[in-house]
Each structure stands twice: as C-alpha cells, then as structure tokens.
Amino acid sequence: MSASIEIAGVSKIYDGGVRAVDTVAMDIRQGEFFSLLGPSGCGKTTTLRMIAGFETPSAGAIRVDGADITHVPAHKRDMGMVFQNYALFPHRTVAENVAFGLRMRGLDKATIAAKVKAALAMVELSGLEERRPAQLSGGQQQRVALARAIVIAPRVLLCDEPLGALDKKLRQQMQFELKQLQKKLGLTLVFVTHDQEEALAMSDRIAVMNGGRVEQVGTPAEIYNQPMTRFVADFIGDTNIFRGERIAPSTGEAALDVGKGLILALPPSADMPGIGVLSVALRPERIRLSPRGEAADGAPGVTAHGVVENTNFLGGAVLYRIVLEGGHRVLVQQSNAGTDHLFVPGNGVTLDWTPADLVVLKD
Amino acid sequence: MTKALGSSRLSRRRFLTASASLGIGTIAAPYVARADDPTLRITGWGGKWGEIMKAEIGPAFENEFKCKLQIDSAFPYLPKLQASSRSAPIYDVMHTNSNEQWAAAEMGLVEPKIDPKLVPNLADVYPYAISDKIVGVSIFTSAIGLGMRTDKGYGSVSSWKELWDAKYNGVRGGYVIPVNSLGQAFLMMCGTLFGKGQLDLDAAYTALEKLKPIKIVDFTGAMEKMLLSGEVGLCVIHDSGIYRYDGQNQPTDFVAPSEGVLSLEQVLTITPGSKMKELANAYVNYMLRPDVQKRLAETVWYSPANRKVKLDAKYDAKLLTTPEKVSKLIQVDWKWYNERKDEIDQRVNRIFRA
Amino acid sequence: MGPSHSPSLVSDQEAALRLATAPMRAIAGRRCYGRYLYLAVNISILTFLLAPIAVVVVFALNPTPFIQFPPVGVSLRWFEKFFASRDFMHALGFSLEIALLTTVSATMLGASAALALARGNLPGTRLIVATMLSPLMLPAILTGLALFQTYVLLDVGRPTWGLVAGHTLVTLPYVVRTTLAVLHNFDTRLEEAAQNLGASPLRTFFEVTLPLIKPGVLAGAIFAFIVSFDQFPVSLFLVSPGNETLPVTLFNYLKFDLDGTIGAASVVSIVLAFLVVVGLDRTVGLRSYVKL
C-alpha cells in the first residue's frame, strides 16, 4: 500500500535562474517517517511540491515504487497532503472536506459515509461532521486536514509544516499522535519542517537541506552525533565549532591548532584528510566540567581551563558559557546534579573531553 | 382617431385601409413593411406628436408611398447626424427646431433650401416658413409669449415688459438660456424691448439682470408644470404649452404680448447625402399637406404653415391661422445667434449664477 | 485561512465561544456620547440617501401632474398610465432584455478575464487591467459616441447586439474588479488540495474555484445588471428608432410631458432592481459576500 520514493538528481530552476532545488537525490523507504529539515528558503517545500506534482522539476526524475512520475499531473499521483494552513475548503463542511477525495475517486455514497466516519473517529472529531472549517479551532482544523489526507489511503502522505501554526503544547501532542498514526497505518510520510527538535523527535530519517542542496541524510542520532558538515552541526542543536590548522606533534597523534593557545587532539580516523585547515564540532554535553584545581592537569589536547561567564538553567541540565584562558568561548552542558554541584559565573573551571567526541566537518 | 385623413389624394380604398388600421390603433402596427421596401429615416418629437406620428401619420405615409418610415425620437439628433458619414447620413430628413437646423446647415449637414419644384405644397406656405431666417421649411410654428395664472388677481397683461413688474418677484419663470430655445428667443426679444433691436445684446443682458429673482428651468415641460402648480405666476412660454391643457379647466392662460410673439418653428430639412431624396421630398410635401397639417395642428396645438388649412373653430380661434395673426410673429436670426452662442452662454451664465 | 487561536484541545470549544461573544461585550460596554453622535451621523447620511426615493414615490402617487407639497391625495393614475403605455412597456421589456443579456456577457467575459489576469501569468497584466477598467474613467457619453461612430463606420447600423456590446463595455469593469478582488484573497493552496485529492483541473474549477469566487462574480453581475438597466449615456447614441431603453424613453418623455408617469417609472425601476438583488440573494446566496 505505502510506497517508496526515489528522488534522482532533481533540480528546480525558476525564471531568472534562481536554483530553488539543486540536484537533490534521496531515497525514501516504504513506511518511513522522512523529514526534510532546513531553514526557510532551503528548498524543502519546493522538493515536497515536486513530489506532490505542484511543481515540475527542471531536471532529474521522481519515482514512486520504481515508476517514473515526474510528469504525472498532481491529481493522478494518489498522494495525501496536509498543508501548512490546512487548506480546508471553507465552503464545505468537515464531512464534505473529508469526503472530497473519496468523491473524486467515484466511490458510492455508503462507502464514502463509512470511510468519513471512520477517518473522523480516528482523529477524534466524531460529532463535528456538519461544522464549517471556520467554526473549528486550529487543532481541530489540523485533524480534519489529516483525516482528509489519510482517508483516501494514499501511497504517500506529504506534510508541509503541518504543526507550524499550533501553539507549543498542542504541537507536542499532535507530534505524538501523528507519529503514532503513521506507524499504525504504515504510512510513508514525507514531513517538511524547519524545526530541528520536531524533526529529531519524529523522524525515522532526516534530510537536512541548505541552499537547495541536501547536506546530510541520516537517522536523528546520526544527524546529531555525526554531523557531516559545518551547516548540519550548527543547525542541529547547540554545538561548539572550532576551525584551525592540522598539526602533527612529536607524539604522533594528530591535533588541531585552533589558535589562542588551544590545541585539540583529533580522533583517530582512517579517512582523516591530510594537512590543512579543517573544522571540528564538539557537543556541549560531551565536555566534562570540574572545579579548577581539583582535577589533575590532563594531557594537552583533551583539557582546558576557563572561567564561567554565564549560566542558562534548563531544569534537567545547565548550559554554561565558559571563557577559556586563551579567549575562546565554549558551551558546556552538565546534567543537574543538585544545587551544591552547580557553578556560578566567576567560578574557575577545568574542561576535559575525549578526542573521539570531536566530529570532523566538511565545510 | 375618427379624424382620419380625408384627403382627396387618398384613394377610397387606401382611406378605408388607413381607417381600419387606425381602428386597431395602438395595439398592432398598422403597416407591416416588407424587407425590400425603401426606408426613410427621419427624426421626430416624442410626446403627443410622437404618438400620433406612430399611430396615424407615419403608417399612412408608409402605406401611400410603399416605404418604411424609421423615426428616431431619441435625442440628440444633431450630434448623431454629425457623427455619421456625410455620404451616408443617419437621417434623410431632419425635424428639429430652427436654431439647431441653422447649426446643422452651417456645418453642411443639411441642405439650406427645399426645392419648390419637388415639394409643390411649398407654394401654399406663409412667407415666414421659407423666409431667410429659415433653413429648409418650417411646417409648424408655436408662438412664444407669456403664460399666466388667472386665479391670482394679477390683472390683465398685454406687454412683455410686465414680466419685469416687481409683483412677480418669486413667481417669475424663465429658462436656462444655453440649453433652451425659448430662453434664447426671449433673450433676443429683450434687445427689441429695451434696446435698438434683436441684436442689441447689451440691452438684453441689462434687462435679464433686472429680471432677477427668477425661477429658471431647462425643460419647457417643467415650466408648464410649475405654472400648473402655481409655483410661477407669470412666465415665458409657448402657446402650445398652455393650450394643450385646454378643457381641463386649468387656471392658466396664454398672452400674446402687443409687441409681438416669437416664433418657435418646427423645421424640416433634407440631408445632402441622403440616398432617398425623392422619398424625402415626398415626406416634406406630405407633412405640408392640409389634411396632415390639420390633424397634427389639432393634436399638439401648433400653428400650421400651410395657408390653406382650415382648423376647427376652437383651434382656429387660438392658433395663428390668418395672415394678420401670422404677421405678429417675430422670427429670430438664429444664424447670427449661433455665431455668438458661446459668448452669450458665458455672459448669461454669469448673470444667473450671481 | 484558518485562525490558530486555541490554547489547547480541551478548551477549544470554550475558546471559540469566548471569541464569538467578545466583540459583543466590547460594544455593549462602550456606552458613551460618541455612540449617539455616530448614530446621528449615520441616520443623517441614510436620510440624505433615501430622500430622493421618497420624493419620487410621493411624485408617483400624487394625483396632480406636478410635484406638490403637501400631496393632495394618493392615486395610481400615473402607474396606470405607465403600465398602459405601449411605449413604456416596450421600453421596460427592452431594458430588461438588454440588462439580462449584458449581465450574462459581462459576467462571463469579466470573470474569465479576471481569472486569466490573476492566474495566467500574462505579460503586461497591469496594462491589461488598466485597459479593462478604463471605461470607468471615460465619460460614458464619450464611450457611447465613440461606439456609435464605430458602428457607423462599420456600416452595421444600430443593432441590439451593438447596444449590448456597449453596455457590456461599461459594465465589464465592475465584474473584473469584484472578481479580481476575491481572487486576490484566494488561497491557491485550496486548488492544490483539491488536485492532490484527485480532482482534475476542470473539476477543481467547478468544485473549488468557482464556489469560492462566486460572491465576487455575483456582486459584479448585480452591478452589471443595475448599471445596464439604468444606463443612459451609452444608450443615448446606440438605441435604434423604435427600440429605446427605459431611461432613454423616460428622457424623451421628460422633454414633452413632465408628469407623475416619470415617478411611477422610477418606482418600478427601483422595485425591479430591489427584486433582482433579493432574488439573487435568495437563490444563489449573496450573503457570503458580506464576509469579503
């Protein structure tokens, strides 16, 4: 029932030469929750619209279950879509909205009525059949849009920032429900969002896009833990990015001189690029923090000293901004181990980390 | 309807046909023109005139001359004629007031004279109808004089000058001169009354200035209603505008002032580019025929131009039907007036706006 | 399109209720003299707008052949005269016929043009819109004269279709305007949603686009009908002898007979226009236009 999608070297160039989407390639597996994540203007929505058939690629092909649908008109693609502002038909009732796709498929009235009833029950909107969209709250409208899209049992469900207009609490609830529904129905779901937390929370896999290109495709853990590019590292979560010259000290271990007296030991890695300038990322929670003086002076490249400049209390954790002795500013996140163990601005601290936690980035 | 056209020129059969068709009158069109009939395109008034033209006079002409008469009674005629091609004008015969005919003649849109050889009835008209103040031929005229209320105790009126009497302040009626022929004719009369003659515009302007306060209207019909309602007591008006209420016991009367009445001529002209010249001349001749003249004159209270018309006593008593009565008519030099119309309009607008 | 105002699912209904009642409470709470002034100004404007209609009605019902205050009685003689007059009845029928033909042609042309302009991605759209709206700027009498001259040049005479064409020309801007206005606020994603759900472009037009732009198109159609029915300057030159519209007939009548028949004709016109608007409201639902 659900299908896989192959996007093969697709580009979209608008009049005037703007490359909205630039040779994008990705495979979306059957039954997968796949997110297109990126800042506005990164090409994620255009990509989705090409999958839906609202835009025609300037180059490349889109295949569904191996069949080329690049030039199949939107109304013959058999895909469901939930629009950013739901795009419910204002002149029709809730039931009529949900029944629309079934009517277009020429089903008989009894079947339509039964399916509409079931779909509305699934999104917990039974009893609102005769309302008009304008009489519903945002959350209810969202559910109608969802019901309208899934009632036709689409091969693929496309969602264009469907939760963007909801407030935070409702949004979290809907994230959970949508994910559950997707799993229950085994839907292949392509989800466009600019919200990295949302993408990380819901997706099986994520494609991070920037400037019309795909920066990285991977599971949330891969995207978070092994960002491949500086953009991905920076866009997903908080991170410390260092850029410097690769050096080979006498010990033989490779290290990075990021200036201001700070040397970072590089992880042992087979495909390490040669001598030259490179960037590395170090997540704040991968750095350990101890009061200055307590810890023994560690090996160079895995420790540094500094002073707490700022604290950001997150509840379960605390985010510190540390000024290192050389002047670098570093974010460090520590779990909240009790009030007695918290640092305050002005405390002298020692940082240490494991070289394996450093991720080498492509620029 | 019973006063059908009893002309000697109508054959008896045609007369009967005409009477019969008049019997069913306004319900069905009396003569159904065939597609190949020639069409004569003319202009004509609405109101009572239009009714009788449509019901009797027109169909009888169509019958007699085996043609179709297309009467345009939607104003304005002159701009429409002007807009159409000179070689294929929109009208064959234009019927309108004298001032507009002069304007048309100046632009070469109508022929200045009617040929007496082609219109035999021209021989029977009063001199004013084909005078040098007339383009084409005047088939009827009204007399412009004073209209008054007889129930207000104003006393008898005999002179134009009584319009200036202070007792008519507030109930004096006149016209928007730029758009109304009666107003224009009256302006010329003012020159005669207070100056060296018709062409003494300065004297006329001074006189108009002294007429204030005065109620002015653009349509003559509006003046009739104001007189009937008593809103005005003494006003400039044409005789037909008073006489048409004859028999209704209205407390109004027409006064032909001793200085003379102005003529308001109904003029026919033929367009030079007409493809129906023969029919056009026949139409002019037809309209001058005594029977037609009598029928129309008694319907709308116009004085016929044909000397040979004998009206019923009631009409004969009031309309200009004898050489003596006709001699009281003063004709306006419209050619002269039209040449100065812009200047006059500006001046009178200033007078009445102040 | 969709308001996103509810804080949570549980209180959705409550929130909706609160939203619905809020403006009412706000108005009720604002009791001050400004309100009475506002009412007074509005009542005076309404009075000013409706006074001519009242005068016309009095004129039409007054038995005397001239306007008289106070009226001396009530009589239907002018209505009788109006309805008994073959000329007036013919003119009324002809005017209705022209107005209906004009409404149909102006609405179809205007709505299609507006759709093409809003969606077609045509070059020079602004210029085309300006051209289409230009009859509004031009004095209608010039439009009439220009068309008349054109017909004379083309030697087609003054046919009924020519009159309809003239009326269409001056009513088209209204339909284009009102349709463009609804299209301007039209969310094209609604059409995409329909296509996504399997509706062909044609089906999408009839299922989604047309119902949603209907208020604008209808408003334009009503304008077209009324403007055509009342049209005088354009008709003045384009009517052919024997086929005059009601306004032209009234004008010509006015020059010779200024009596209550004019008033009766005006009352009939007003009632007819009113009936058309109410009729459209009842049948196709004008009320949704209020939302615009």
Interface contact C1-A133, CB threshold 8 A: yes
Q: C interface mutation test: which of B41, B77, B80, B86 has the most C CBs within 10 A?
A: B80
Give the pairing type, strands B93-97 and B261-270: antiparallel
Query: Which chains contact C through at least 3 pairs of Cβ atoms less than 8 Å apart?
Result: A, B
What would the 3-class secondary structure string for A168-229 be? HHHHHHHHHHHHHHHHHHCCCEEEEECCHHHHHHHCCEEEEEECCEEEEEECHHHHHHCCCE
Q: Taking CB atoms and an 8 Å limit, are C155 and B75 in contact across chains? A: no
pLDDT band of A67, cuts 50, 70, 90: very high
Q: Does C242 touch chain B (CB under 8 A)?
A: yes
Beta strands in chain A (DSSP E): 5-13, 19-28, 33-37, 59-64, 67-68, 79-82, 156-160, 189-193, 205-210, 213-218, 240-247, 255-257, 263-265, 277-282, 288-291, 303-313, 317-324, 329-335, 348-352, 359-361
Say if residue C32's pLDDT is above 90.
no
Query: A272 falls in which pLDDT band (50, 70, 90)?
Result: low
Of B87-91, B92-96, C280-284, the least confident: C280-284
Q: What pLDDT, on the 0 to 100 scale, is given for residue A90?
A: 92
State the pLDDT at residue A298: 63
Instruction: Supply the pLDDT for residue A251.
Output: 60
Number of Cβ within a 10 Å radius of residue C49? 9
Segment B114-143, tens digit of pLDDT:
999 999 999 999 999 999 999 999 999 999
Residue B5 pLDDT class (50, 70, 90 cuts):
very low
Query: In this predicted structure, what is the pLDDT of residue A250?
Result: 57
Of the pLDDT bands very low, low, confident and very high (cuts 50, 70, 90), residue C19 is: very low
Cα separation of A136 and A148, whole Å? 15
pLDDT at C28 > cutoff 70: no
CB atoms B75 and C255 under 8 Å: yes
Q: What is the pLDDT of residue B143?
A: 96
Please give the residue that has the higher pLDDT: either C3 or B225: B225
Q: pLDDT band for B354, please (50, 70, 90 cuts).
A: low
Chain A residue whose CA is closest to C210:
A91
Rounded distance between C-alpha atoms, residue A351 and residue A287, angstroms: 6
Quick count: other Cβ atoms within 10 Å of Cβ C82? 24
- What residue of A is the nearest CA neighbor of C189? A87
**Residue located via tokens 């030697």:** C155
Whether the pLDDT of residue B257 is over 60: the answer is yes
Decide: residue B7, CB within 10 A, 0-12 exposed, 13-18 middle, 19+ buried.
middle
Closest residue on chain C to A55 (Cα): C192
Chain C residue nearest residue A154, CA to CA = C197
Question: Minimal Cα distance from A160: which residue of C?
Answer: C189
Residue B229 predicted with pLDDT over 90: no
> What is the per-residue pLDDT across C57-74, written as a single tens digit (0 to 9) for each?
888 888 877 777 777 788
Strand ranges in chain B using DSSP code E only, listed in sequence order: 39-43, 68-72, 93-97, 137-149, 172-175, 215-217, 234-238, 252-255, 261-270, 303-304, 329-330
3-state secondary structure of A27: strand
pLDDT for A273 equals 57
pLDDT number for residue A275: 63
CA dist list (Å): C200 to A74, C117, C196:
9, 21, 9
With an 8 Å Cβ cutoff, are B73 and C241 in contact? yes
A290, with CB counted inside 10 A (0-12, 13-18, 19+), is middle
Fold of B39-141+264-321: D-Maltodextrin-Binding Protein; domain 2 (3.40.190)
Q: Is the pLDDT at C87 greater than 80, yes or no?
A: yes
Given CB atoms, is C248 within the 8 Å cutoff of chain B? Answer: yes
pLDDT of residue C285: 59
Q: Is A109 left (phi over 0), alpha (psi -120 to 50) or beta?
A: alpha
How many contacts (CB atoms, under 8 Å) link B and C? Answer: 81
pLDDT at B238: 95
pLDDT at B29: 43
Average pLDDT taken over every residue of chain B:
88
Q: pTM of the predicted model, to two decimals? A: 0.75
Same fold, B39-141+264-321 and B142-263+337-352: yes
Average pLDDT over residues B276-297: 96
At the fourth CATH level, the homologous superfamily of domain B142-263+337-352 is Periplasmic binding protein-like II (3.40.190.10)
DSSP string, A278-306: EEEEE-GGGSEEEETTTS----TTSEEEE
Q: Is the ipTM of this complex over 0.85?
A: no
pLDDT in tens, A111-135: 999 999 999 998 889 999 999 999 9
Average pLDDT of every residue of chain A: 90
Domain spans of chain B, in order of start: 39-141+264-321, 142-263+337-352
Record: contact A100-C197, CB cut-off 8 A: yes
C128: helix, strand or coil: helix
* Mean of pLDDT values over B37-46: 91
Look at B229 and C239 and tell me if their CB atoms are within 8 Å: no
Residue B60, pLDDT above cutoff 90 = yes
Mean pLDDT score, C21-27:
49
pLDDT digits (tens, 9 = 90+) for C191-240: 999 999 999 999 999 999 999 998 889 889 988 999 999 999 999 889 88
Extract the tokens encoding C226: 């009324």
**Nearest Cα residue to A223 out of A243, A212, A239:** A239
Contact: A148, C197; criterion CB under 8 Å: yes
Q: Cα–Cα distance between A143 and B198 in angstroms, integer? A: 91
Cβ–Cβ below 8 Å for C187 and A86: no
Contact C2 A138 (CB under 8 A): yes
Longest distance between any two alpha carbons in chain B, whole Å: 64
pLDDT at residue A320 in the model: 95
Candidate from A22-26, B28-32, C73-77 with smallest mean pLDDT: B28-32
Give the model's pLDDT for residue B1.
Answer: 35
Which residue among C236, C255, C258 sits closest to B225, beta carbon to beta carbon? C258
pLDDT at residue A252, rounded to an integer: 64
**How many whole angstroms separate alpha carbon B3 and alpha carbon A357?**
121
At C151 the three-state DSSP class reads helix
List Cβ<8 Å contacts ≥24 apart for A336-339.
none
Q: What are phi and psi of A314, to 5 degrees?
A: -100, 0
Q: Read off the pLDDT band of C284 (50, 70, 90).
A: low
Which chains have 3 or more CB–CB distances shorter than 8 Å to chain B?
C
pLDDT at C155: 83
| pLDDT the model gives residue B6 | 38
Burial of A39 (0-12, 13-18, 19+ CB in 10 A): middle
To test the contact with chain C by mutation, choose from A45, A89, A96, A105 the residue with the greatest count of C C-beta atoms within 10 A, namely A89
Q: What are the pLDDT digits (tens) for C156-171? A: 888 899 999 999 999 9
C262 band by pLDDT with thresholds 50, 70 and 90: confident
What is the spatial distance between Cα B255 and Cα B235, in angstroms, rounded to a whole number?
10
